[in-house]
Chains A and B, each alone.
Chain A
């Protein structure tokens, strides 16, 4: 039982490049979330998906798109990466109102 798996774990991009961060969960959870963590800022919600086929904006959605193609997977796409998107990205999943399970994070650097 892997829980929440994020790929890749590390990535370096150049400004303007595109990138998709992958997240998959094997717990049959209905809700999934993408957060970013910046130094001194805690975690902030980018997008979330309450169920397969639905997505909603969180606190900081600008510059990102998401896809919830099936119940297991929730991807985050940067169409044109900017240095301000350098961050650690966490994916989480949740069953009803149980505590969220987090992946180990993706460290993304944009030069």
Chain B
């Protein structure tokens, strides 16, 4: 069975601090995708990144970076020099590549609050 665990329910930081959001996943598939989505207070879901299970190379995009480690089944997300606009709920998700192509399994989300 597929499962995504985001153990951090809420995180509060002060602006300019770095913050890491944890994500641990379970799957029996050897081929899968991992995702991060952002849900700002306005409620829409914003796609941030997708990672293929065969590509463990870390990725950086501006202040965002992602650390994918298959050995620990983790896909952590770091925001460097956080800003108030980063305040949102962040979801980690897993997509299997079996018969239900594209089906997403979400973690419960981490509420990030960045204080000025």
List the interface of chain A (C-beta within 8 A of B). Answer: 31, 33, 35, 40-45, 48, 50, 56, 58, 88, 90, 92, 94, 96-97, 99-102, 104-105, 107
Given contacts A42-B109, A99-B50, A105-B43, contact A50 B101 (CB under 8 A): yes
- In the bound complex, what is the Cα–Cα distance between A72 and B15 (angstroms)? 43
The 9 closest A-B pairs by CB, nearest first: A42-B106, A102-B45, A43-B106, A42-B108, A94-B102, A104-B44, A99-B47, A99-B50, A42-B109
Cα distance, A110 to B43, chains bound together (Å): 19
A97 and B102 CA atoms in complex are apart in Å by 6
Number of interface residues of B (CB under 8 A): 23
Residue on A nearest B47 in the bound complex, by CB: A99
CB of B116, distance to nearest CB on chain A (Å): 26
B9 contacts A48, C-beta separation under 8 Å: no
Question: Is A99 touching B35 in the complex (CB atoms < 8 A)?
Answer: yes
CB contact list, B66-116 vs A, under 8 A: 91, 93, 95, 97, 100-109
CA distance A41 to B103 in the complex (A): 17
Q: List 13 A-B contacts (CB under 8 A).
A: A33-B103, A35-B104, A40-B108, A42-B4, A42-B91, A42-B106, A42-B109, A43-B93, A48-B100, A48-B102, A97-B95, A100-B102, A102-B47
Residue of B nearest to A95 (CB): B102
The chain A residue with its CB closest to the CB of B104 is: A100
Question: Which A-chain residue is minimally distant from B106 (CB atoms)?
Answer: A42
Q: How far is the CA of A101 from the CA of B106 in the complex (A)?
A: 15
On whether the beta carbons of A102 and B44 are closer than 8 Å, the reply is yes
CA distance A35 to B45 in the complex (A): 12
Cα A35 to Cα B105 with chains together (Å)? 10
Given A42-B91, A42-B109, A97-B97, 5 new contacts (CB under 8 A): A45-B104, A48-B100, A97-B95, A99-B47, A102-B44
Given contacts A42-B108, A104-B43, contact A58 B103 (CB under 8 A): yes
